[in-house]
Structure 1
Amino acid sequence: MRSDTSPGPLFSIITVVLNDRKGLGRTRSSLRRQSCRNFAWIVVDGGSEDGTRDDIARFAPEIAWWRSGPDRGLYDAMNIGMAAATGDYLLFLNAGDELASPDSLERLAAVIRAHASPDFLYCDALERTPRGTLLRKPARSHRTVWYGMFTHHQAMIYRRSAVADLSYDLSFKVGADYAFTISTLSRSARVARLREALIIFAPGGLSQAMASVGRRDQTRIRRQYLRLSAISCFLIMVVQSLAMLTRRGFPAFYEICRCRRMYE
């Protein structure tokens, strides 16, 4: 999947999977549709027992690097994938996640060229509702990182040289991607935003399944990384809890407030 005219890929796309053959297949299909081929696919399987490993072995000609075996969880697997990456930019696209359109990587590459190789990029995301509708969820400004993740982690792209000495902190069960992103922004001289949806987010991820743990992790991260006061952290957590209750109890109202455009 590497470009014939480049010594290495522009993108390393890192996919973490555990017992999700169907999700891995959707992610693979999304990558096979891309018009931009200047990427290398890295797959880190946590030791699946549902046949996922057999599928990975079958897909091996399309994969630049893969492993299957026990790890210490999602963020450890992401660290493993990052260590194997050789691309200029890192994109974490977990099993079940998809790129929004066949030219997603092509448009992303154009933004990278236009902004003289930024250290960090981020985009909007599409979310699939239980009804099957795709909602466009615009990213907030990265300057609101104090509140939390301003877009899905899968819609963030990291320049590998800017995060070469960083890793996901395994002491955070759910919030390690938040800490990683704060650290990246603190050292990023050039940040670019693509006001288009890059990915289709697969629901049911760790942050949704363990939302309360994630909020506690974020409080620790705000105190440790951003030096916010305990009162500020408490107020942010209250607002986040109210937002989550609104999303679960009044999904239509949440969609009107948070999402700008709907796709069928």
Structure 2
Amino acid sequence: MTRISVITVTYNLIEAGRADMFRQAVASVRAQSHGDVEHILVDGASTDGTDALIAQEVALGGIARVISEPDRGVYDAMNKGAAAATGDWILFLNSDDFYHRSDGLAAVADVPGAADFVASPVIRQDGTTSEIAGVSRGFARVLITMPFSHQGLAMRRGLFADLSGFDPAFRVAADYDLVLRMFLSGARGHVLPGAFATFRTGGLSADTTGLKQDQLAIWRKNLGHFATVPDDVWTAAQGRRTLPRSTLAAMAQSPDLTPHLRRLAAFQRARNWLRGAP
């Protein structure tokens, strides 16, 4: 049977007022209908009694392993969880998020073998308001930003390892860095039409300044070798939510990219030209 590993990172949940949300997250994994789910908790050496809260959940069953030690941030902790995982697929469930459908992980397990990753819509919850956050059609947004929410992403464990996991240098947007590298590697994706995860807004995603800084650094890290682009052009392009035209031109002709990414680059370049963007 296909094994699914779910990794949840925690730190000082009681102090943050997230104890009940954490219980809901763990219960939603425990309630999954799929028969082989490995739930791994990675705690950053909490100091507020979170260890006792975790112990209570462990006693209820369904948690395969708990790692508790200092880390260098949430993405470093996620990497630790992935390194301990033994599943065929890896998913990350935040401590304040949950699976609202019990058959979600079973749907991942049933995905065709050719797929390297799975993306699905998620429900974004902001207080009492909820909305669907979909998957970008054809993953078209990937050259600019996340084409889907990371709560709706499942990756083959081998692919995650091949990509060396998250880069903890990006405090806010390491998920986008990983996803962009995933597409640049030629990974093949499968889209599930229905949402099974709910995530609550806030946290790292609310840091818009850090997000913009990371986004620019991620572009330069992964796409900077395609063309020599001055700093001010990168910054101006980010302000227009696009890539520099010279970068896109080089990407559209690159034999190292998949045909899909070349088409995305060519389309974005044409749009920039029509708008008179540099």
Q: TM-score range by the shorter chain?
A: 0.7 to 0.9
1:95-140 per-residue CA deviation (whole Å, 9 max, x = no partner) reads 0111131111122223x1xx2241111111101122x132112121
Report what 1:10 is aligned to. Answer: 3
Q: 2:124 aligns with which of 105, 127, 130?
A: 127
1:186 deviation in Å? 2.3
1:132-168 per-residue CA deviation (whole Å, 9 max, x = no partner) reads 1321121213232111011111111110111213122
**Which consecutive residues of structure 2, in runs of 5 or more, have no partner in the other structure?**
14-18, 243-278
Report what 2:86 is aligned to. Answer: 86
Rounded to whole Å, the distance in 1 between the matches of 2:176 and 2:236 is 17
Report what 2:260 is aligned to. Answer: none
Q: Which secondary structure does the structure 1 equivalent of 2:42 belong to?
A: strand
Aligned residue pair count: 228
Report what 1:62 is aligned to. Answer: 62
Q: Which secondary structure does the structure 2 equivalent of 1:197 belong to?
A: coil
Computed over aligned residues only, the root mean square deviation of the Cα atoms, in angstroms, reads 2.0
Q: Which secondary structure does the structure 1 equivalent of 2:195 belong to?
A: strand
1:194-222 per-residue CA deviation (whole Å, 9 max, x = no partner) reads 122131012212121x1111111111111
Rounded to whole Å, the distance in 1 between the matches of 2:165 and 2:113 is 25
Report what 2:274 is aligned to. Answer: none
Pairwise mapping of residues 81-160 of structure 1 onto structure 2 (< 5 A)? 81-110=81-110, 112=111, 115-130=112-127, 132-141=128-137, 142-160=139-157
Pairwise mapping of residues 1-264 of structure 1 onto structure 2 (< 5 A)? 6=1, 10-20=3-13, 21-60=19-58, 61-110=61-110, 112=111, 115-130=112-127, 132-141=128-137, 142-165=139-162, 166-208=164-206, 210-227=207-224, 229=229, 231=233, 234-239=236-241
Which structure has the greater CA radius of gyration?
2
Rounded to whole Å, the distance in 2 between the matches of 1:97 and 1:117 is 29
1:188 deviation in Å? 4.0
Q: Which secondary structure does the structure 2 equivalent of 1:163 belong to?
A: helix
Normalising to structure 2: TM-score of the pair?
Answer: 0.76
List structure 1 segments (4+ residues) > 4 angstroms apart after TM superposition: none
Amino acid aligned to 1:222: W
Q: Which secondary structure does the structure 2 equivalent of 1:164 belong to?
A: helix
Normalising to structure 1: TM-score of the pair?
Answer: 0.80
Rounded to whole Å, the distance in 2 between the matches of 1:58 and 1:30 is 16
Between the aligned residues of both structures, percent identity stands at 34
1:232 deviation in Å? 5.5
Rounded to whole Å, the distance in 2 between the matches of 1:163 and 1:149 is 17
1:189 deviation in Å? 3.9
